[in-house]
Amino acid sequence: MKFQDRGELLFLLTSVLFLTLLLGFVLSFVPNVVRNVSAVAATDGLGVYWEAECVHKVTYINWGNLTPGSSQEIYVYIRNEHQAPVILLLTASDWVPHAASGYISLSWNYNDHWVNPNTIVKVKFKLAVSRTVQGVTNFNFIISIVSSLTLPGDLNKDGRVDYRDLFRFSRAYGSTLTSPYWNPDADLNGDGFVDSRDLYILRKFYLLY
Model pLDDT, residue 23: 44
Q: What is the CATH number of the domain that holds 174?
A: 1.10.1330.10
pTM above 0.85, yes or no: no
Are 144 and 41 part of one and the same domain?
A: yes
- The sheet with strand 87-96 has its strands ordered as 60-66, 34-42, 138-148, 87-96
pLDDT for 5 equals 60
pLDDT digits (tens, 9 = 90+) for 59-69: 999 999 889 99
CATH number at residue 106: 2.60.370
* 147-176 confidence digits (pLDDT tens): 988 888 999 988 889 999 999 999 999 999
Q: Are residues 64 and 118 in the same domain?
A: yes
Check whether residue 12 and residue 65 sit in a common domain.
no
Same domain, 120 and 67: yes
Containing structural domain, residue 174: 153-209
207 or 58: which carries more pLDDT confidence?
Answer: 58
Percent of the residues in the chain that have a pLDDT greater than 70, as a whole number: 82
Q: How confident is the model at residue 32 (pLDDT cuts 50, 70, 90)?
A: low
Asked if 94 and 176 sit in the same domain, the reply is: no
Task: Pick the closest to residue 72 from 110, 32, 36, 112 (CA basis).
Answer: 36
Please give the helix or strand (H or E) that residue 163 lies within, else none: helix 163-172
53 and 129 assigned to the same domain: yes
Taking residues 99-115, report their average pLDDT.
94
State whether 111 and 45 are in the same domain. Answer: yes
